[in-house]
Amino acid sequence: MVQCEMCGAETSSPKTIKVEGAKLDVCSNCTDFGTEVRQPSSSSTSTKYSTGSSSSSSSSSGQSAGSSGASSSSSSSSSTQRRNDMFDDMDELAPDYDDLVRSARENKGLSQSDLANELNEKSSLIRKIERGDTLPSDRVQSKLERFLEIDLSAEGSSGDDSEWSGGSSSGSYTLGDVVKRKD
């Protein structure tokens, strides 16, 4: 017996309905709450949780074990590659960006409102950036760097990760190997 996913009643023949985009297996009393989803022919042995790789492996069970070993080695080689994400291309902001902006502004002899007028930004934004309350957007960062002739990106942050050689001789790391204390 299967439990209805809407009311919780036990049912021996659940029907699949779609309610606001969600597919639910429900009893016959709850089918009126959604639109019934027609299942493809029942000759297929796959379940709703099966993937393409498991259905292809079940249909090719007569093949040699060598071909399945090749597919597992290709999947393991892809898992060893480092995945690229959107943060790989982004520059990291210098930890003392607020001091850099303030000192560069003062060196040019500008007030916060003067700098804001030059950059066509609000003076409250400049004030928050110099206090370290907010991070500048990429657009504002490039304006600040261009006008004040400074570099707000962190230098060598990616190099620190590759040069780090902490850890024990066994190759396993603990949290203490990685964490940098503030004191």
Per-residue confidence in pLDDT tens, the chain, 183 aa: 889 988 988 888 888 998 888 888 889 889 888 888 876 655 545 555 555 544 444 444 444 444 444 444 444 444 556 666 666 666 688 888 899 999 999 999 999 999 999 999 999 999 999 998 998 988 999 999 999 999 888 764 444 444 455 555 566 777 777 787 777
Number of domain units in the chain = 2
pTM: 0.40
User: Is residue 91 included in any domain, yes or no?
Assistant: no
Residue pair 122/164 in contact by the 8 Å Cβ criterion: no
Report the interhelical angle of 123-131 vs 97-107 (nearest 10°): 120
Report the interhelical angle of 97-107 vs 138-148 (nearest 10°): 40
Structural domain for 30, as ranges: 2-36
pLDDT at position 90, please? 65
User: Is residue 108 included in any domain, yes or no?
Assistant: yes
pLDDT at position 19, please? 86
User: Is residue 116 included in any domain, yes or no?
Assistant: yes
User: Is residue 41 included in any domain, yes or no?
Assistant: no
